[in-house]
Homo-oligomer: A and B are copies of this chain.
Amino acid sequence: MNSFGHMFRVSIFGESHGIQIGVVIDGCPPGIALTEDDLKEDFARRRAGGRGTTPRVEPDIPSIVSGVFQGKTTGAPLTIVFENTNIKSGDYSNLWDQPRPGHADYTAQQKYSGYNDPRGGGHFSGRITLGIVAAGVVAKKILGSVSVTATLIEAGGSKDIAAAVEAAIEAKDSIGGLIECRCTNMPVGLGEPFFDSAEALIAHMVFAVPATRGIEFGSGFASASMKGSEHNDCITDEEGKTATNNASGINGGITNGNDIVFRVPIKPTSSIGLPQDTYNFKEKSVSTLLIEGRHDVCIAIRIPVVIECATAIVLADLMLRERRG
């Protein structure tokens, strides 16, 4: 279903070219100061505009329509919506004939028996992640001293992100990227053994963000080649701090007070300026497809803030569960 969270539950809705997209947050504690201005900074980080992002910039003006009274959350469901302006009616019939490679055109048609809204990707559009960012801004206010920061550390396999982006623009191609996220000042005791382990919930949420292809915590894939004597994080003080942090601050699914650190690869944008061969269902054969318009050359540039907000949502949920004791 299209919601996530146990005590801080986030539901998102909307389509790329629909009337309104938005987010409903259920379980937000009362008394948190919140205005539309609080969303500006993270929205700006997510927005297109720089080199390598699509030149189509949407204003992303949020409207808090329920759950806030006199500038503070009320405890009732908190709803933030965004009007979609400048929606152009286009001809999308070609998406049915020749689904774009890497996109959800084909799977959406199949799953929804052809009733899905195809305009601009419909409900599958990355634009719907605006709701995750909005909820994450609220979640961060619940986290207190806990800090969550995600950054793009590589693009196209290179640490010189700007150069990689320029090369991809030049080549009319797209490139992927690698994001690292770090949570600091973590409390001990968040998460549950097995199904609701802190890693399980973070991973679940991270894969809700389109274009993610993996996740590794701490030692991650390198751990497969390590020895126990190298990998074990020896505790060094009464607070549970460890000399190394291969466990990424989590043992047995429960946070141990050290930083949570994880990395997420982002695939290259599926829409590229180069012609591609793919199946044409009308012609019943493979033929060349050229996707018109301008696109994000490196969508990974815009995703760190989404990963950050997605992670904040998980941590806020876990903190609200835990405060029950």
Contact = CB atoms under 8 A, between A and B. Distances in A.
Interface in A298-325: 300, 320-321, 323-325
A116 B225 contact: no
Interface of A: 1-4, 6-7, 9, 11-15, 18-22, 24, 26-27, 29-31, 63-67, 69, 72-79, 81, 99, 101-104, 106-108, 110-113, 115-119, 122-124, 128, 154-157, 168, 171, 173-178, 188-189, 192-197, 199-201, 203-208, 210, 212-238, 240, 242, 246-247, 250-256, 263, 265-272, 274, 276-279, 281, 284, 286, 300, 320-321, 323-325
A296 to B, nearest CB: 10
Given A207-B197, A207-B199, A75 B115 contact: yes
Contact of A251 (B106, B189, B263): B106
Nearest to A237: B279
Contact of A227 (B19, B156, B194): B156
A19 B22 CA distance: 14
A159 to B, nearest CB: 11
A208 B197 contact: yes
Contacts of A173: 227-229
Given A3-B195, A201-B204, 12 more contacts: A13-B76, A76-B112, A102-B251, A107-B189, A154-B224, A195-B208, A200-B205, A210-B252, A214-B216, A220-B265, A234-B279, A321-B324
A18 B110 contact: no
Contacts of A193: 2, 76, 104, 108, 123-124, 128
Contacts of A237: 279
A124 B200 contact: no
Contacts of A254: 104, 107-108, 110-111
B270 A228 contact: yes
B228 A116 contact: no
B15 A2 contact: no
Of A63, A76, A157, A178, most B-chain CB atoms within 10 Å: A76
A284 B236 CA distance: 10
B176 A235 contact: no
B213 A157 contact: no
A74 B116 contact: yes
A223 B268 contact: yes
Given A7-B324, A240-B110, A73 B115 contact: yes
Contact of A215 (B74, B175, B203): B203
A157 to B, nearest CB: 3
Of A207, A226, A242, A300, most B-chain CB atoms within 10 Å: A207
Of A119, A256, A277, A325, most B-chain CB atoms within 10 Å: A325
